[in-house]
């Protein structure tokens, strides 16, 4: 652990089958006017909406609703919520859904009382928080992003064709609490479930593929990777396997609550590329990541060869068997690709609606960065072509 760090996390987690029983008690700490933010129709179809409305009313809350949050939430929806907060004197926001609903809620919380262009100031310029924010919490219905225990908000600006993730100061923009009952994820469609699973795996890799020191964080990450692979296989066979779904849910939270980023310089270029692929195609986030990852890792592995060898051996149990170092590293990436196929995820950017004309636009609008290899627009173009 060679790099200094300070770790804390302000989000209280209620995890398991009894998690919802904590909601009423938690709500007591906040004011009367509650904005309920949710997605298209899943929470009504599952009965969760009625359950939560009952709890809110029993707690004497006046409830305002912002339904219809898109997967890949739009800045226009953030603005709609911000308007509702100001109009109705909202004291507290409850997000019920997956990463999109929670990210949109964070956006609403921080933008409501910002005077000016919040998109430009908070997401583009990464400005410090200068206005009142609204406390919020989450009832998580889909595992993947880790948004339930972090201060990141990923928003798509449709007009500007930009999807930007902004990590805010922890204490202002983390959920006050998150209710996490893995049973709520049983109804997630398989395509979304595997998207979430791959998103988690990608978060683990983005943090793991950096540095060459002997670091406790890497050992922890390998453990979470192994747990996730195991649980994913079980959940594919039986989506109502509580053990598997609960492990997936906790892997997701662990994947992005900063624990597995401690003392790591990290990479995140696959995410940056995917965000722009998402801005152009509106694909599910994890699907985009899965399509890009094999090409990206084959492009950069030579620059971090020892770590890719370790990944192959520790996570995918690749044996040496007279293989060269390059062959071991590449075999690890091939096993990752096989796992993506096992999840049933499509393999090419074309499958998710990308066109050849979009590729240079995506490459040029992706923020340069990278881990073992610094990536520029030309490098990104190579990865995009290989994924096309
Ligand atoms: O809209 P409804 O009807 O609710 O359906 C949703 C949505 O269509 C459905 N769903 C969720 N829970 C369900 C369910 N359907 C049935 N039963 C349930 N229990 O699932 C669909 C996808 O939901 P969404 O919230 O979009 O998925 P996810 O959690 O993967 O969030 C993706 C967004 O988060 C961002 C992504 O870029 C993307 O915009 N990310 C956020 C991060 C963060 N805040 O830290 C980091 C990530 O890397 C990621 O970028
Ligand atoms: Zn992600």
Query: 29: how many CB neighbours lie within 10 A of its CB?
Result: 11
Any atom of ligand 1 within 6 Å of the Cβ of 253: no
Separation between Cα atoms, residue 190 and residue 203, nearest integer Å: 20
How high is the mean pLDDT of the chain? 97
Helices (H), ranges, 122-241 = 170-173, 190-208, 216-237
Atom of ligand 1 nearest to the CA of 98: 25
Q: Which ligand is nearest to the CA of 49?
A: 1
Instruction: Flag the least confident range among 76-80, 93-97, 365-369, 377-381.
Output: 365-369
Q: What is the tens place of the pLDDT at every residue in 17-54?
A: 999 999 999 999 999 999 999 999 999 999 999 999 99
Separation between Cα atoms, residue 194 and residue 197, nearest integer Å: 5
Separation between Cα atoms, residue 161 and residue 72, nearest integer Å: 12
Any atom of ligand 1 within 6 Å of the Cβ of 194: no
Q: What is the tens place of the pLDDT at every residue in 216-261?
A: 999 999 999 999 999 999 999 999 999 999 999 999 999 999 999 9
Per residue, what are the HEC states of 219-281?
HHHHHHHHHHHHHHHHHHHCCCCHHHHHHHHHHHHHHCCCHHHCCCCCCCHHHHHHHHHHHHH
Any atom of ligand 1 within 6 Å of the Cβ of 239: no
Residue 206, pLDDT > 90, answer yes
CA of 144 to the centre of ligand 2 (A): 7
Atom of ligand 1 nearest to the CA of 103: 44
pLDDT at residue 333 in the model: 98
Separation between Cα atoms, residue 385 and residue 383, nearest integer Å: 6
User: Are 371 and 269 spatial neighbours (Cβ–Cβ below 8 Å)?
Assistant: yes
CA of 100 to the centre of ligand 1 (A): 5
Separation between Cα atoms, residue 386 and residue 143, nearest integer Å: 29
- Which helix (H) or strand (E) segment is 337 a member of? helix 325-342
Sign of CA dihedral 257, 147, 244, 199: negative
Query: 248: how many CB neighbours lie within 10 A of its CB?
Result: 25
Residue 61, pLDDT > 90, answer yes
State the virtual CA torsion across 20, 24, 29, 35 in degrees, nearest 10.
80
Q: Per-residue confidence at 368, pLDDT binned at 50, 70, 90?
A: confident
Separation between Cα atoms, residue 36 and residue 136, nearest integer Å: 10
Residue 287, pLDDT > 90, answer yes
Separation between Cα atoms, residue 104 and residue 81, nearest integer Å: 9
Any atom of ligand 1 within 6 Å of the Cβ of 70: no
Please compute the mean of the pLDDT values over residues 191-202 and round it to a whole number. 98
Task: Please give the full DSSP string across 45-111, using - where no structure is assigned.
Answer: HHTHHHHHHHHHHHTT-EEEEE--PPSS-BHHHHHHHHHHHHHHT--EEEEEESHHHHHHHHHHHHH
Phi/psi-derived region of residue 104, left when phi > 0, alpha when psi is between -120 and 50, beta in every other case: alpha
Any atom of ligand 1 within 6 Å of the Cβ of 211: no
Alpha carbons within 13 A on the beta-carbon side of 323:
15
Please compute the mean of the pLDDT values over residues 90-95 and round it to a whole number. 98
CA of 42 to the centre of ligand 1 (A): 11
Atom of ligand 1 nearest to the CA of 100: 25
CA of 202 to the centre of ligand 2 (A): 7
By C-alpha distance, which of 9, 26, 49, 340 is closest to 197? 340
Q: What is the tens place of the pLDDT at every residue in 298-333?
A: 999 999 999 999 999 999 999 999 999 999 999 999
Please compute the mean of the pLDDT values over residues 77-92 and round it to a whole number. 98
């Amino acid at each position: 652990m060679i790099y200094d760090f300070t770790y804390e996390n302000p989000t209280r987690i209620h995890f398991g089958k009894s998690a919802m029983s904590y909601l009423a008690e938690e709500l007591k700490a906040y004011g009367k006017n509650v904005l309920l933010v949710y997605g298209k129709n899943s929470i009504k179809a599952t009965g969760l909406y009625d359950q939560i409305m009952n709890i809110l009313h029993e707690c004497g809350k006046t409830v305002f609703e912002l339904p219809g949050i898109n997967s890949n939430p739009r800045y226009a929806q953030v603005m709609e919520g911000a308007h509702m907060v100001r109009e109705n004197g909202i004291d507290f926001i409850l997000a019920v859904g997956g990463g999109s609903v929670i990210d949109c809620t964070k956006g609403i919380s921080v933008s409501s009382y910002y005077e000016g262009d919040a998109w430009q100031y908070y997401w583009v310029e990464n400005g410090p928080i200068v206005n009142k924010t609204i406390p919020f919490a989450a009832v998580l219905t889909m595992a993947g992003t880790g948004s339930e225990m972090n201060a990141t908000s990923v928003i798509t600006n449709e007009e500007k064709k930009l999807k930007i993730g902004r990590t805010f100061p922890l204490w202002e923009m983390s959920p006050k609490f998150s209710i996490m009952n893995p049973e709520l994820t049983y109804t997630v469609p398989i395509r979304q479930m595997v998207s979430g699973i791959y998103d988690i795996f990608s978060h683990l890799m983005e943090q793991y593929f950096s540095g060459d020191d002997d670091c406790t964080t890497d050992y922890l990450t390998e453990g979470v990777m192994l747990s996730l692979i195991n649980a994913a296989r079980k959940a594919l066979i039986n989506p109502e396997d509580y053990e598997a779904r609960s492990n997936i849910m906790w892997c997701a939270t662990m994947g992005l609550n900063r624990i597995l980023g401690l003392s790591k310089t990290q990479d995140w270029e696959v995410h940056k590329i995917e965000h722009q692929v998402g801005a152009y195609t509106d694909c599910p986030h994890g699907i985009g990541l899965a399509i890009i990852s094999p090409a990206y890792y084959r492009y950069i592995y030579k620059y971090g060869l020892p770590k890719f060898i370790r990944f192959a051996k520790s996570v995918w149990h690749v044996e040496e068997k007279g293989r060269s170092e390059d062959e071991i590293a590449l075999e690890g990436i091939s096993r990752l690709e096989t796992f993506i196929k096992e999840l049933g995820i499509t393999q090419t950017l074309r499958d998710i609606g990308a066109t050849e004309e979009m590729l240079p636009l995506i490459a040029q609008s992706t923020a340069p960065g990278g881990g073992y290899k610094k990536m520029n627009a030309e490098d990104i173009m190579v990865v995009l072509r290989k994924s096309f």
